[in-house]
Amino acid sequence: MTQKTILRALAGERLPTPPVWMMRQAGRYLPEYRATRAQAGDFLSLCYYPDLAAEVTLQPIRRYGFDAAILFADILLIPQALGLDLWFVTGEGPRLSTVTSAAEVAALKPVDAIHDTLSPIYETVRILSRELPRETTLIGFAGAPWTVATYMIAGRGTPDQGPAHMFKDADRASFTALIDRVTEATIAYLSAQIEAGAEVVKLFDSWAGSLKGQDFDDFALEPARRIITEIKARHPGIPVIAFPREAGPRYAGFAHATGADCVALDNSVDAEWAAAHVQMDGCVQGNLDPKLLVSGGPDLESEVRRVVNAFSNGPHIFNLGHGITPDADPQNVSRMLAAIRG
Ligand SMILES: Cc1c2[nH]c(c1CCC(=O)O)Cc1[nH]c(c(CCC(=O)O)c1C)Cc1[nH]c(c(CCC(=O)O)c1C)Cc1[nH]c(c(C)c1CCC(=O)O)C2
Q: Is the pLDDT of residue 1 over 60?
A: no
- Establish whether residue 78 lines the binding site of ligand 1, counting it when its CB lies within 6 angstroms of any ligand atom: no
Q: Which residues are annotated as a binding site for substrate?
A: 24-28, 74, 151, 206, 322
The best mutation among 75, 96, 137, 206 to test binding of ligand 1, ranked by most ligand atoms within 8 Å of the C-beta, falls on 75
Instruction: State the Cα–Cα distance between residues 133 and 274, nearest whole angstrom.
Output: 32
For residue range 97-149, what is the model confidence (pLDDT) as tens digits?
999 999 999 999 999 999 999 999 999 999 999 999 999 999 999 999 999 99
pTM: 0.97
pLDDT band for position 2 (50/70/90)?
A: low
Query: Which protein residue's CA is at the shortest distance from atom 33 of ligand 1?
Result: 43
- What long-range pairs does 335-340 form, CB within 8 A, spacing at least 24? 335/296, 335/300, 335/301, 336/288, 336/292, 336/293, 336/300, 336/304, 337/20, 337/64, 337/65, 339/300, 339/301, 339/304, 339/305, 339/308, 340/17, 340/18, 340/20, 340/304, 340/308
The pLDDT assigned to 91 comes to 87
Whether ipTM exceeds 0.85: yes
Give 282-315 pLDDT, tens digit per residue. Answer: 999 999 999 999 999 999 999 999 999 999 999 9
User: Annotated binding site, which residues?
Assistant: 24-28, 74, 151, 206, 322
**Best residue for ligand 1 mutational test, from 21, 24, 203 (most atoms within 8 Å of Cβ):** 24
| pLDDT given for residue 3 in this prediction | 87
Query: Which residue ranges form the domains of the chain, and what is each CATH number?
Result: 5-341 (3.20.20.210)
pLDDT band at 342, cuts 50/70/90? confident
* Contacts made by residues 295-301, CB under 8 angstroms, sequence distance 24+: 296/329, 296/331, 296/332, 296/335, 300/332, 300/335, 300/336, 300/339, 301/335, 301/339
User: 67, 74, 205, 281: which one is catalytic?
Assistant: 74
